[in-house]
Each structure stands twice: as structure tokens, then as C-alpha cells.
């Protein structure tokens, strides 16, 4: 599927941000730590949620979805081998290692491998689980991890890895004794996971700081938990509103989660204000060039680097964007250049010379955040752009085209076979199904 998008319109109205993809995925995995029923609210309708649901169901969980609520119950881990075809689709599923290791004492999982933005090793995940008592070997292409008992330990992370922090927290929450995790990731999604585990009876302190203290407990019970808003989806819409001009209220936002983005918007000269239920952005789309360097939280989030870079192709002046978290996260630059953007890469930095307007083009999304960057660029470009491989966007943005249409954008989803301006080729049945419902009801 692709998006057809005609640019040049201001955005007006309000848009609701969904629950956070990067919070709900580890929390769904954490639900495997108890045999009780867990209810999650504000669960976004995303391909990645569907994939994680498939992984957990194949390992023994019963999961029902009703709107944005998910009921999960894992009476027992029926199969300790994670399904290869699903793990390879979504590397984030590696976070089931901690919970299943704790629950079943054994898990076999294929190493998730790399993706468009980098090689994505998991060495710090494995080092942390081994420190807690796991024995991990490679067996016929599967990581084979066993642990009759998990014991608390003092663990130092060489880098504040989000996934490694989550895996270690979920393995340590029911370990025997206390765990101290130093140089831990501080992202809001870590705090949401820790809050969820504490609601289940866990004893975790310090989440959101670089030192997390975990007192092991014997069992965890079911709970109902509301997922935090998705700060990256919110930031993506805020950047789109700044790029197009108009007057947009982005609702269901926790401003403290976006402090670094808001500080950069101020430097750019973008008009915005915090309101009771969100952040309002207005203006004529003009903005000043700024320098951005991605960092771990609370620094500027790497997941907003691509849309921010696309915005800065329109700024007055030259911006330098430096990506310090992933080694290959400038895949969107080549596509933006095809729209006329003036960008050159030097090492880990992109130097962007801003200009008045980009021109529409046929574009290809390489990953979900690069896809968001291409949508932002197409919204401001002269003419009608096609953005292909929108399944990448569907992994992390719930109904992006519907939300943007609600703001007045001229965007629609179309089958790949549709010619620009021509009739839509009859979509295959599978495509029709894919278009109407991302999740099995
Ligand atoms: C999480 O990925 C997010 N994904 C990413 O969001 C996000 O970009 C990233 O954190 C950084 O904030 C989810 O939460 C599902 P890391 P994760 O471990 O956990 C290297 C999106 O667009 N590393 O903090 O994989 C790694 O290669 C996605 O929503 C090791 O070398 O990120 C990377 O360069 C993309 N060894 C850096 O650390 C390890 O054992 C940060 O990775 C682990 C990581």
C-alpha cells in the first residue's frame, strides 16, 4: 500500500495521540510474568502490537482485544520457543526473554538481527540476564537461555539501552534478592513499565533515573493499566504542524516527555503553547535553522530525528543534525534529496541548507520514522507525492492518514497498483482486508 499526498495546505483542528508503542510492547511481554488476567487500556492499533500479540499467543497467552483495550492471560508458558517468523519481523520482541525466563526457567529465541537503522546487537541484554543467573548458549540458530533460579545482582550497563533495561527489570522483579541497575535508560516508557510492574506487586524504585533498585518479590498479580501517550507520535504531529503552518491542537500529550523537542521548537521560532489537554501549535510555517544532536532521554529523541530533519529542509539557514544513538539513521536523506532538499552527510551529521519549498516525488519509506519524515516533507511540497511501503508507518502510527485528513491534509491510502491520477486497480482481497482492519477482532 502507498499514500497519495498533495502538499501545500495548512493544518487546522485537533488530533488525538494514541497510547505509546514503545511502552505497550514491553508491558505486553511483562504480562507473561503472572497467571492472572491483565487489562491494558489505551493500546494503539498498530502492526507491532499485532506482532507482539502473535508471539505471546504462540507461547501460551490468551489475548482478547476490544477497541483500545487488551485482555491478556498467560495461565502457563506452553511453548518456550519463540516463533522465528514473528521475532524476525519485530526485533523489539527480544524483551520477552526476561519474563519467559522468569516464568518458565527456559526460553529459545532467534537473535532478532538488524534492521534499516543499524545492526541492533543485544549483547547488553544477554550480559544482564547472565548476571542474574541465566546460562545462554547458541543452539541451531536459537539463543537458548535457562535459569532454574534468578538471583539479584549489581549490573552496570555500558550504554543506557532501553531494551536491555526493560529485559533486566522484568527478569529481576521476581528474582531472589535485590538488583541494582546502574546507567539504566531513563525514557518515559521505562517508567511506565516500572509502574506497571509495581501495580502487579513489584518493588522497583528509581525508574526514570540512571539507577534503578529492584527488590525481588515471589509473585506478581494481575492489574489494569493505562498506557502512557506516545510522545514520538505526538512529536511527529507537532513537527508536521510546524512545517505546514495553520493552527493545530495535539491532544493527549505529557509535555514533560517532549521537553527537548519543545526547546528546539522555541529556538526555531515556532509558536506553541501548553493547554490543559495538549499542545497547540500555530503559525505560517516559517522557521529558523537550528542544530540538533540526538541523545538518550532526556536528550533529543533519536526517533524524532528524521521528521525534525525533514522540517529543517524548510528553515531559513543551515542546520546540523547529529545522530549519536544509531549508526545508520539517515535513510530518509536520499529520499528528501529527490524532493530537491539540499542535504549532505558528514560522518554522523547531516548538514541541511533550508529552502523555500520541496517538490513532490514518488518516495519509499525505509522504516517507520523515515516514513513520518517523508509524510512531513510531502505535506509541505508542491504537487502530489506517492509514499510507498506505508506498512512501515503502520508499525508505529495508528491511522496516520485518517488523523492527518482530520486536520485538512489531502492524503489517502491507495493500492500500489494505482496509477497517479488514474483509477484504483481492484485491490486484492488481502489488501482490502489489510486496509480495513489491522488487528484480528
Ligand atoms: C528502543 O529500541 C525503541 N524501540 C527505539 O524505537 C528507540 O529508537 C530506541 O529504544 C532508543 O530510544 C522500542 O522501544 C520497541 P537501545 P532499543 O537498546 O531498545 C545499541 C522506534 O522507531 N545496543 O536503547 O533497541 C543499539 O544498536 C524504535 O519506535 C547495543 O549495542 O534501543 C543502538 O545503537 C526504533 N547492544 C543503541 O544501543 C545492546 O545490547 C540504543 O539501543 C542493545 C543496544
Q: Please count the other Cβ atoms lying within 10 Å of the Cβ belonging to residue 62.
A: 12
Cell of 298: 532526556
Residue 20 CA to ligand 1 center (angstroms) comes to 15
The alpha carbons of the chain give a radius of gyration, in whole angstroms, of 22
Q: Are 74 and 31 in contact (CB under 8 A)?
A: yes
115 is known as an active-site residue? yes
Whether 127 lines ligand 1, by a CB cut-off of 6 Å, is no
The pLDDT, as a whole number, for residue 285 is 86
Atom of ligand 1 nearest to the CA of 124: 40
Residues in the chain: 441
CA of 63 to the centre of ligand 1 (A): 26
Number of the ligand 1 atom closest to the C-alpha atom of 92: 15
CA–centroid distance, 410 to ligand 1, in Å, is 33
Any ligand 1 atom below 6 A from CB of 300: no
Regarding the beta carbon of 282 and ligand 1, being less than 6 Å apart is answered: no
Q: Which residues, including other chains, have CB under 8 Å from residue 192's CB and lie 6 or more apart?
A: 20, 23, 27, 227, 228
pLDDT for res 420? 63
Tell me how far apart the alpha carbons of residues 53 and 93 are, in angstroms, rounded to a whole number. 10
Which residues neighbour 79 within 8 Å (Cβ) at sequence distance 6 or greater?
58, 59, 60
| Cβ(13) – ligand 1 distance below 6 Å | no
Which amino acid residue places its CA nearest to atom 3 of ligand 1?
A: 22
Neighbours of 333 (CB within 10 A): 22
pLDDT in tens, 198-207: 999 999 999 9
Cβ of 373 below 6 Å from ligand 1:
no
Q: How many Å lie between the centroid of ligand 1 and the Cα of residue 118?
A: 9
Flag residues of the chain having pLDDT under 70: 420-441
Q: Which of 98, 152, 102 is nearest to 126 (CA)?
A: 98
CA nearest to 156, candidates 165, 146, 143, 147: 165
Ligand 1 lined by 288 (C-beta under 6 Å) = no
Residue nearest to atom 44 of ligand 1 (CA): 161
- The overall pTM is greater than 0.85: yes
Q: What's residue 421's pLDDT?
A: 61
Cα-to-chain-centroid distance, residue 431: 24
- Between the CA of 162 and the centroid of ligand 1 the distance, in Å, is 6
Transcribe 9-76 into DSSP letters. PPEEEEEE--B-HHHHHHHHHHGGG-SSEEEEES----HHHHHHHHHHHHTT-EEEEETTEEEEE-SS
β-strands 246-251, 271-275: how paired?
unpaired
For residue 396 and ligand 1, the question of a CB distance below 6 A is answered with yes
pLDDT tens digits, 103-142 = 999 999 999 877 778 878 899 999 999 999 999 999 999 9
- The span from the CA of 179 to the CA of 152, in Å, is 4
Longest C-alpha distance within the chain, in Å? 66
Residue (of 362, 363, 257, 259) closest to 306 by Cα position: 363
Amino acid at each position: 500500500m502507498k499514500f497519495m499526498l498533495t502538499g501545500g495546505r495548512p493544518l487546522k483542528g485537533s488530533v488525538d495521540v494514541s497510547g505509546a508503542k514503545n511502552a505497550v510492547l514491553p508491558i505486553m511481554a511483562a504480562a507473561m510474568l503472572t497467571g492472572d488476567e491483565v487489562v491494558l487500556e489505551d493500546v494503539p492499533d498498530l502492526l507491532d502490537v499485532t506482532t507482539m500479540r502473535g508471539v505471546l499467543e504462540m507461547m501460551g497467552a490468551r489475548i482478547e482485544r476490544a477497541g483500545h483495550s487488551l485482555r491478556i492471560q498467560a495461565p502457563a508458558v506452553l511453548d518456550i520457543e519463540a516463533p522465528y517468523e514473528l521475532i524476525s519481523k519485530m526485533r523489539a520482541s527480544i524483551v520477552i526473554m526476561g519474563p519467559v525466563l522468569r516464568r518458565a526457567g527456559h526460553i529459545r529465541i532467534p537473535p532478532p538481527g538488524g534492521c534499516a537503522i543499524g545492526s541492533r546487537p543485544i549483547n547488553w541484554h544477554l550480559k544482564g540476564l547472565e548476571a542474574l543467573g541465566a546460562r545462554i548458549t547458541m543452539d541451531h540458530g536459537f539463543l537458548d537461555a535457562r535459569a532454574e533460579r534468578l538471583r539479584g545482582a549489581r549490573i552496570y550497563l555500558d550504554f543506557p539501552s532501553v531494551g536491555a533495561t526493560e529485559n533486566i527489570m522484568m527478569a529481576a522483579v521476581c528474582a531472589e534478592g535485590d538488583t541494582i541497575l546502574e546507567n539504566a535508560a531513563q525514557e518515559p516508557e521505562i517508567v511506565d513499565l516500572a509502574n506497571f510492574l509495581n501495580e502487579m506487586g513489584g518493588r522497583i524504585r528509581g525508574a526514570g533515573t540512571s539507577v534503578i533498585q529492584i527488590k525481588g518479590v515471589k509473585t506478581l498479580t494481575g492489574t489494569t493499566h493505562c498506557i502512557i501517550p506516545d510522545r514520538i507520535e505526538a512529536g511527529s504531529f507537532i513537527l508536521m504542524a510546524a512545517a505546514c503552518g495553520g493552527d493545530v491542537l495535539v491532544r493527549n500529550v505529557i509535555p514533560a516527555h517532549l521537553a527537548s523537542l519543545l526547546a528546539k521548537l522555541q529556538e526555531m521560532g515556532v509558536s506553541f503553547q501548553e493547554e490543559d489537554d495538549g499542545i497547540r501549535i500555530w503559525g505560517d510555517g516559517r522557521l529558523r535553522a537550528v542544530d540538533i544532536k540526538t541523545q538518550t532521554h532526556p536528550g533529543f529523541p533519536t526517533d524524532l530525528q528524521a521528521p525534525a530533519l525533514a522540517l529543517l529542509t524548510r528553515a531559513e539557514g543551515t542546520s546540523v543534525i547529529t545522530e549519536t544513538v544509531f549508526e545508520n539513521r539517515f535513510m530518509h536523506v536520499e529520499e528528501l534529496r529527490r524532493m530537491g532538499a539540499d542535504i549532505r552527510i558528514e560522518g554522523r551529521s547531516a548538514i541541511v541548507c533550508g529552502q523555500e519549498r520541496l517538490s513532490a516525488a514518488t518516495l519509499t519509506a525505509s522504516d517507520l520514522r523515515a516514513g513520518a519524515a517523508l509524510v512531513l516533507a510531502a505535506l509541505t511540497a508542491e504537487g502530489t507525492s506517492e509514499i510507498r511501503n506505508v506498512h512501515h508507518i503502520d508499525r508505529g502510527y495508528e491511522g496516520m492518514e485518517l488523523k492527518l485528513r482530520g486536520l485538512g491534509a489531502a492524503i489517502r491510502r491507495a493500492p500500489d497498483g494505482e496509477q497517479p491520477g488514474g483509477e484504483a486497480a481492484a485491490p486484492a482481497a488481502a489488501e482490502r482486508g489489510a486496509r480495513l482492519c489491522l488487528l484480528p477482532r
